[in-house]
């Protein structure tokens, strides 16, 4: 069970890194005037929402992992 939770957390962290990298790339393209800010506003907003969701999932998973560890040591 411990490894499954750790794997889930690791996969969520990878997902978070990818989302942040995507946002950086969008910002670079905007600053280089390859795309307009208006054309990607919704995309950046959705990216931000996904980052918030993944961060929340990571926090919940870590808390669940801590609870699992505490329960194992109580018995």
Q: In terms of DSSP H, where are the helices of 2-74?
A: 2-31, 37-74
**8: closest CA among 68, 72, 61?**
61
Domain ranges of the chain: 2-74
Give the chain's residues under pLDDT 70.
Answer: 1-2, 75
Question: Could you tell me the pTM of the whole model?
Answer: 0.82
């Amino acid at each position: 069970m411990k490894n499954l939770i750790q794997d889930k957390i690791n996969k969520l962290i990878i997902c978070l890194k990818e989302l942040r990298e995507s946002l950086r790339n969008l910002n670079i393209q905007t600053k280089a005037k390859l795309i307009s800010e208006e054309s990607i506003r919704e995309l950046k907003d959705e990216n931000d929402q996904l980052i918030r969701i993944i961060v929340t999932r990571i926090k919940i998973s870590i808390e669940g992992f801590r609870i699992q560890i505490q329960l194992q040591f109580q018995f």
